[in-house]
Amino acid sequence: MMGEMVKGVLTEVKRIAVIDDTPDTVKLVSEVLAVEGVEVLKAYNGVVGLEMILQSKPDLVLLDVVLPGLGGYEICRKVKSNPLLWSIPIIFLTSKDELKEKVEGLYSGVDDYITKPFEMEELLARIRMIFSRSARYLDANPLTKLPGNCMVQRKISEVLDQKQSFAVCYLDINHFKSFNDQYGFLRGDKLILALAHLLVETVQGYGSSMDFVGHIGGDDFIVVTTVKVADSLCDKMIQGFDRIIPSFYDSEDRDRGVILLANREGILQEFPLATLSIAVVTNENNQISHAAQISAIAADLKSYAKKFQRSCYVKDRRLKQPI
């Protein structure tokens, strides 16, 4: 009855994770969401729930605050600090309607909360509201789920306002068009996803918690970090890219070292295998006061980097090669 009454409000939602240690709550919520055509992922403790989010990347998470193993606040903080997961909306399911609970939830990055016991109409309304709000304001890249242009510009404005040293790294894949022409967009998307994961893993492993990874579009990415670690991050990103890129080519092209594509006249032309170029803009030696300066310097550096037939990064017009 309940499902029939609200059926159709979640047409944009494909997968929702329900993490609660009360089986009856999980069962009731799952049944109603299933009627809506939503795939429901279930977990009854925090550790399993977090792993489920990491592996499945649901469209939304319904998360109990008090859980065995790992609490809801900690799960929320981990999700919202992960560049590949930050855009996933989270609704807290809480038994306490207290100001302290609400404030702690907001600090952890939660998108909304609902107090138990709740009516399913209210829960579905809150889910619908979150997705309506997300559609207007969230600009996560649909393929990689990384922050898009709006968040990129916001981050650059933020570091400029802080008046501290920074490094903005612009990355793109050389010869990506010929790769797509040879292998198709599906494999091209897989390469884009692999690069996104590589950047996130590198920043998480060697950067700081304040570093930022964004996806400008296509094969263009951005990493915002500190001057102190910029060189080592670029080295690691280049080494990682050069390590994974051969696996994306067929053995014949890989062994040849080039791909062969026919031009409009039907004549075969050689195109190099993909490499990674990084343009690093810092305020270490230059005074930078607005985003347009960063873009102009980056465009100049990127053109210079592309002259080299290998993966490399360029900072302040000096070529840097990984050790």
pLDDT in tens, 30-74: 999 998 888 999 999 999 999 999 988 898 999 999 899 999 999
Given a cut of 70, is residue 100 above it in pLDDT? Answer: no
pLDDT at residue 319 in the model? 47
> Is 255 found in the same domain as 217?
yes
**Between 9 and 94, where is the model more confident?**
94
Nearest of 160, 281, 155 to residue 216 by alpha carbon: 155
Task: Write the CATH number for 219.
Answer: 3.30.70.270
Average pLDDT over residues 281-301: 90
**Could you tell me if residue 270 is inside a domain?**
yes
- Exposure string for 177-192, b = 16+ CB within 10 A, e = fewer: ebbbebbeeeebeebb
What percent of the chain has a predicted confidence (pLDDT) above 70? 88
**Could you tell me if residue 140 is inside a domain?**
no
Lowest mean pLDDT among 4-13, 195-204, 255-264: 4-13
> Is 192 found in the same domain as 117?
no
Q: Give residue 86's pLDDT band: very low, low, confident or very high (50, 70, 90).
A: confident
Domain stop point among 99, 134, 169: 134
Contact status, residue 173 vs residue 276, Cβ threshold 8 Å: yes
Task: Write the CATH number for 88.
Answer: 3.40.50.2300
> Is 238 found in the same domain as 203?
yes
Average pLDDT over residues 220-230: 96
Q: Is the dihedral of CA 243, 245, 249, 252 positive or negative?
A: negative
> Is 127 found in the same domain as 83?
yes
pLDDT at residue 138 in the model? 59
Given a cut of 70, is residue 154 above it in pLDDT? Answer: yes
Lowest mean pLDDT among 1-5, 144-148, 237-241: 1-5
Model pTM greater than 0.75? no
Query: For residue 129, what are the domain limits?
Result: 2-134
Average pLDDT of the chain?
Answer: 87
Given a cut of 80, is residue 167 above it in pLDDT? Answer: yes
Lowest mean pLDDT among 3-7, 31-35, 88-92: 3-7
3-state secondary structure of 249: coil
pLDDT at residue 80 in the model? 86
**Could you tell me if residue 139 is inside a domain?**
no
> Is 241 found in the same domain as 153?
yes
Residue 221 CA to residue 191 CA, distance in Å, equals 13
**Could you tell me if residue 141 is inside a domain?**
no
Residue at 285: amino acid letter: N
Where are any strands of DSSP class E within the chain? 15-19, 39-43, 60-64, 90-94, 112-115, 167-174, 212-217, 220-225, 258-262, 268-272, 275-282, 312-315, 318-320
> Is 259 found in the same domain as 174?
yes
Number of domains comprising the chain: 2
